[in-house]
Structure 1
């Protein structure tokens, strides 16, 4: 009898221990999948005996299985193995002929395992991301569980981007890789890399070595407190072409395309300081120590300037395989062109006439950009530009990033351009005025904007190909400030980019956002604590 009691007590103790060991995850993740059907059957337990299956000979699946195994260990402490042998209970990656949308995936979870299936490797990758975010964050346990469910998912927009400006301040290759990992966590598929500015040229161009020898350095930077005070601290740094290719490869391994931007014909003081003959006056020029818009821009009337731009584009396209090449086109004053002999001669040569809506100089910029577009198109690529390019009469093939306002994107879509919605009012994360917005409104301004404005007809809405967030680095020179501006607002943006409009709900988003912030802490990322505090208080009051 005593022996039976002892055995019974041991059995009950083991049940209690098992209950402590099991931690349940949730499919309430960011971005919210299009369809989650939770089942009443038993969950799938992940233990040290769990394996992740990938097809033999499929190197991409093998790599992605490794990503998932690494993340499981990071968030739970459980070390699982990858294998190309099928077993009874495991996590399986499977290419199939189901949903033909390239980034679509499905998840089937039951007590026997998790099957992540898609018609493409990128679809499987996003399924893996969902599993990673569904896991409970815990340590020192023998197992964790994920609820039985069927998940069917695909992104709303094909273009989901974030832009980082390295022209004003340089960020190292390892740190950019860290940001790329953050983008992957949020289902971002384009990293828009803003490489040149008045304040610094950041990419090696071998035909024009002075761009980095001179243009990558400025002697100091204006202080934010006073327009006439400077910090006296030199700023420098640039990426070799090999480093740029390294970034491209790292991003591609996470199914992110790097879009390079060389902003022209404005924002070119760093280039003019390096090669003064490219300007209208011949200089002398200096790499800018202030921020803003400057009158000195590339001279659109000189043949050598156009050749310079084409040469730079050729080297850019040799480095970056991206379908899209961004050439800026924003904030280009025409004052120099109006009095420049070369520019006025080119205007006359082209037969440009003043139009009611477009000055001769605006049309000269349209011609200049059009010549660059030909260069890009001849290489089988597509040109992107900011919405100021609409001031002329640009080709309908040009992809327009609407930044100046929501109305800029509406205008672009109405005029028939493939359009990216990136308004300063909602999707700029570094605007000093907007960054004063705190707490829930800081998230709400991002979350509540729908890229497909109801002012557009259904046909015009088809021209909206996606949305993009931006961080400009005038006042961002370190990782802490970068991440503070980025997170958790990137979580809100990712749901705008991925999740169907009718599935989005701010109240539902808040608890899922808090789980993302737990992940940020796990990975040592900084984020805006005032948002977390306000959301926790709000949720507590709603109980």
Structure 2
């Protein structure tokens, strides 16, 4: 029997003899017709088979042949599924839609890789090998972050990106929408955010600090486009979590509405990378009215339970020199500017909590005291996540030492496309331990999961994003879903060697396994 290669690796897989071969007379039976239609849609382009979807009943479940059966089962595992393939039929069981969707991705990977083609493939034996798979994820949060503030990408690529997340059983797309270098989401009450804040005069040349390309750059997503992306993701089992950066990474917004900064004037959309001194003023009530208005429109677009507000890399020099910020510190009885940032974040959290949403922030939100119900995204290594979890807060682990996919993939940087100077090879990603040993046993449940992060300072094109993402994101998917106790790197490379041609079929760029 041929070796089966699946990413992420399932929790339990038993190989059986034989298999089930699809043909144009195969039927799909489903208790939920929409779920059945989704599977038929996945199989149609490459096979050319327009598989009919019929209701499922007990007699069909017991006796149907030349059929794929999608059967509900009682389980508390929202994302788990069971797949049984034998001659004449395949039975996919799950308790909820997410489990069915994950099982469908497993079926796609079990079939010949031509199933991933967008056009009909002739002469292919569409056989699913005989298996029994019982599968469910180790972690409930499995995400990938994409920064569209530094460089923006068309909706068509965002959809392709989401398709790849679904293929590898991620369930969260963290969409980083605002930055010093560009504001990328339409806010109807504040049109200058996109009229002005979405465009920069030029961009610093990769690898240089004082050379610029001289070309205006920008763009944004309309609210209709955002709705389209959110709906597209939901159909594929992906939740889109937006990020609106506060109080730092705000220069694009301040250029559009300078009265929201401490100085009140003199801003321009940033053309270089790095950390800007100018941030939202914490002493002006108008800033909180602005934030509430913006987030109000954001909540209408994104049903995500979690809303990311940034909270990272917010220098305090402007607040130290700002009379309004110093007055706020005095009025609120705060010790310093770090506590002022914590106070700032708590105002936003209270507003979000009143509307039934949860705040997520980068681990800098720990400084000055953590907001009561905040979830921490630990990026500066694992220390912030360890501290937050041990204090009883939920945590998403995304340490840059294992999860930052904008880092070079090899020490031979001269042979690689431009990237930030740090190095993160596939071998190191594969060693990613989601729950650090320093977290107390009774606090480990606070680790919701993890994600990979893609920052796009050096990625102006979508094929560059894909090159930096793959195959490292596949290893992250494997760790977050399967979380193997032993990490055999040679075995991983062998599996990837068999699997990566699937990306060629899908038209996805990736870094070859050449070191």
The TM tier, using the shorter chain, reads over 0.9
Which digits, 9 at most, give the CA deviation of each residue in 1:240-262, with x for residues without a partner?
Answer: 11110110000000010000000
Change (3 A) 1:155 1:436: farther
| Displacement after TM superposition at 1:25 (Å) | 6.7
Which digits, 9 at most, give the CA deviation of each residue in 1:452-508, with x for residues without a partner?
Answer: 112222222211110110111111110111110011111101001100333754333
Q: Which of residues 149, 156, 172 in structure 2 aligns to 1:190?
A: 172
- Runs of 4+ in structure 1 deviating by more than 4 angstroms, as ranges, are 432-441
- Is 1:151 matched with 2:121? no
- Is 1:473 matched with 2:456? yes
User: Following the alignment from structure 1 to structure 2, what is the Cα–Cα distance between the partners of residues 433 and 78?
Assistant: 39
- Is 1:66 matched with 2:49? no
SS in 2 for 1:492: helix
**Residue in 2 that maps onto 1:235:** 217
| Displacement after TM superposition at 1:432 (Å) | 5.0
Count of residues paired in the alignment = 495
- Is 1:485 matched with 2:468? yes
User: Following the alignment from structure 2 to structure 1, what is the Cα–Cα distance between the partners of residues 403 and 86?
Assistant: 39
C-alpha contact (below 8 Å) 1:251/1:257 kept by paired residues: yes
User: Following the alignment from structure 2 to structure 1, what is the Cα–Cα distance between the partners of residues 471 and 256?
Assistant: 39
User: Following the alignment from structure 1 to structure 2, what is the Cα–Cα distance between the partners of residues 142 and 424?
Assistant: 43
Which digits, 9 at most, give the CA deviation of each residue in 1:195-227, with x for residues without a partner?
Answer: 000000000111111100000000100112321
Q: Which of residues 132, 140, 153 in structure 2 aligns to 1:171?
A: 153
- Is 1:83 matched with 2:57? no
| Displacement after TM superposition at 1:162 (Å) | 0.4
Q: Which of residues 300, 321, 330 in structure 1 aligns to 2:282?
A: 300
C-alpha contact (below 8 Å) 1:260/1:320 kept by paired residues: yes
**Residue in 1 that maps onto 2:514:** 533
The farther-off stretch of 144-153 and 204-213 is 144-153
| Displacement after TM superposition at 1:78 (Å) | 5.7
Q: Which of residues 347, 363, 369 in structure 1 aligns to 2:329?
A: 347
- Is 1:50 matched with 2:33? no
**Residue in 2 that maps onto 1:160:** 142
**Residue in 2 that maps onto 1:499:** 482
| Displacement after TM superposition at 1:108 (Å) | 0.9
| Displacement after TM superposition at 1:38 (Å) | 1.4
User: Following the alignment from structure 2 to structure 1, what is the Cα–Cα distance between the partners of residues 283 and 327?
Assistant: 7
Instruction: State the TM-score, normalizing by the size of structure 1.
Output: 0.87
**Residue in 2 that maps onto 1:94:** 71
User: Following the alignment from structure 1 to structure 2, what is the Cα–Cα distance between the partners of residues 231 and 366?
Assistant: 38
SS in 2 for 1:140: coil
SS in 1 for 2:475: helix
| Displacement after TM superposition at 1:436 (Å) | 5.5
**Residue in 2 that maps onto 1:4:** none
The farther-off stretch of 434-443 and 141-150 is 434-443
User: Following the alignment from structure 2 to structure 1, what is the Cα–Cα distance between the partners of residues 348 and 412?
Assistant: 39
Which digits, 9 at most, give the CA deviation of each residue in 1:384-425, with x for residues without a partner?
Answer: 000000112112421100011122222222222111111111
- Is 1:458 matched with 2:434? no
User: Following the alignment from structure 2 to structure 1, what is the Cα–Cα distance between the partners of residues 412 and 317?
Assistant: 34
- Is 1:33 matched with 2:10? yes
SS in 2 for 1:147: strand
- Is 1:285 matched with 2:261? no
The farther-off stretch of 451-460 and 141-150 is 141-150
| Displacement after TM superposition at 1:26 (Å) | 5.2
User: Following the alignment from structure 1 to structure 2, what is the Cα–Cα distance between the partners of residues 274 and 489?
Assistant: 37
User: Following the alignment from structure 1 to structure 2, what is the Cα–Cα distance between the partners of residues 147 and 456?
Assistant: 41
User: Following the alignment from structure 1 to structure 2, what is the Cα–Cα distance between the partners of residues 508 and 80?
Assistant: 38
C-alpha contact (below 8 Å) 2:22/2:66 kept by paired residues: no
Change (3 A) 1:52 1:513: farther
- Give the helix-richer structure, 1 or 2: 1
Change (3 A) 1:212 1:79: same
C-alpha contact (below 8 Å) 1:60/1:121 kept by paired residues: no
- Is 1:318 matched with 2:300? yes
Q: CA RMSD in A?
A: 2.0
| Displacement after TM superposition at 1:351 (Å) | 1.2
User: Following the alignment from structure 2 to structure 1, what is the Cα–Cα distance between the partners of residues 232 and 373?
Assistant: 29
User: Following the alignment from structure 1 to structure 2, what is the Cα–Cα distance between the partners of residues 379 and 399?
Assistant: 16
Which digits, 9 at most, give the CA deviation of each residue in 1:3-62, with x for residues without a partner?
Answer: xxxxxxxxxxxxxxxxxxxxx8754301000000112x432222333222223xx34313
C-alpha contact (below 8 Å) 2:36/2:70 kept by paired residues: no
| Displacement after TM superposition at 1:89 (Å) | 2.1
SS in 1 for 2:133: strand
Q: Which of residues 242, 248, 258 in structure 2 aligns to 1:266?
A: 248
Which runs of 5 or more residues in structure 2 are unaligned?
Answer: 115-120, 417-422
User: Following the alignment from structure 2 to structure 1, what is the Cα–Cα distance between the partners of residues 374 and 134?
Assistant: 33
Q: Which has more radius of gyration?
A: 1
| Displacement after TM superposition at 1:112 (Å) | 2.4
C-alpha contact (below 8 Å) 2:246/2:311 kept by paired residues: yes
C-alpha contact (below 8 Å) 1:47/1:80 kept by paired residues: no
Which runs of 5 or more residues in structure 1 are unaligned?
Answer: 1-23, 354-359, 535-543
Q: Which of residues 196, 217, 232 in structure 2 aligns to 1:250?
A: 232
